[in-house]
Amino acid sequence: MRLPWLNASVLACAALYGGAGAATLSEDFDAGLPAGWTVVNHSAPAGTTSWFQGDPTIFAAEQGAADSYVAANFHSGAGAADLSTWLILPTQTFHNGDVLSFSTRTSEFSFFPDRLEVRFSAVGGTDVGSGAAGVGDYSTLLLSINPGQDVFGYPDAWTRYSVTLGGLAGATDGALAFRYVVDDGGPLGQNSNYVGLDSVRVSAVPEPDGYLMLGAGLALVRLARRRAAAPIRPRPASSMA
């Protein structure tokens, strides 16, 4: 027996599980820097590079073609510089429990320490303030890799990191950003070398109400399957005219 409403229930469950307007993203940089991502270099003084397509002669990507990652390096600054080079993701709608994950590394045996921050803006956009120390709307620090700028403190093999958003009042139109930030960096500084970024994912987590409605929808699907599989009982002879 075909139940037309069954397919509708399945579709509704899928929609609820994904979460209407929820933040989702998957980027492997197979075609370089994606459209909609913003690069801002506020290093002081600024150099000749920002974020760019990865160089496979330094190391290969975590996945895909050897150059399918993005990178930032000491040339973000000129001379001895304080580096602050931003890679800002598009504005999306976030909920508590949404997860950002990514992979990063530096070159092997790097004696010039690197540092990378992950920051969040609860209003989205691309306002990162001014100067190497400015953060603008991106005042929420979610993660700092090698915060003390220690020699060999940044991983020299692809390493996976994840951060979970929390403390939001509700659905929030915001944006995530990676910030290559190194004090006393640049070609003549004591710090900064080269970092790569690959396999960036943003995974949405259904809100509690979504879980409840998803469970109800799945219960309807199971009920429909049991009814469809049940044998048809013959009518009693006394009821046949």
Nearest of 21, 47, 22 to residue 205 by alpha carbon = 22
20 pLDDT band, cuts 50/70/90, is very low
Tell me the whole-structure pTM to 2 decimals: 0.80
DSSP state of 92: E
Q: What is the DSSP letter of 35?
A: T
Retrieve residue 222's tokens: 């199971």
Instruction: Give the Cα separation of 185 and 7 in Å (integer).
Output: 58
* 18/31 Cα distance (integer angstroms): 26
171 vs 241: which has the higher pLDDT: 171
Find the helix or strand (DSSP H, E) in which 164 lies: strand 159-164
Which of 20-24, 50-54, 84-88 comes out lowest in average pLDDT? 20-24
* Region 79-89 average pLDDT: 98
Both tokens of 45, joined, read: 């003084």
Q: Backbone phi, then psi, for 238, in 5-degree steps?
A: -65, -20
- Whether 213 has a pLDDT exceeding 90, the answer reads no
pLDDT at 38 over 80: yes
**What pLDDT is attached to residue 205?**
77
- pLDDT reported for residue 45: 98
pLDDT digits (tens, 9 = 90+) for 179-207: 999 999 999 999 999 999 999 999 997 65
> What is the pLDDT, as a whole number, of residue 119?
98
Tokens matching residue 118: 């992950």
Mean predicted confidence (pLDDT) in 58-73: 98
What's the mean pLDDT when you consider all of the chain?
85
- Mean pLDDT to the nearest integer, 89-104: 98
Look at residues 234, 95, 107, 103 and name the one whose alpha carbon lies nearest to residue 171: 95
Instruction: Give the H or E element holding residue 180.
Output: strand 172-185
Mean pLDDT of 34-52: 97
Q: Tell me what the mean pLDDT of segment 134-150 comes to.
A: 98
CB atoms within 10 A of CB 177: 23
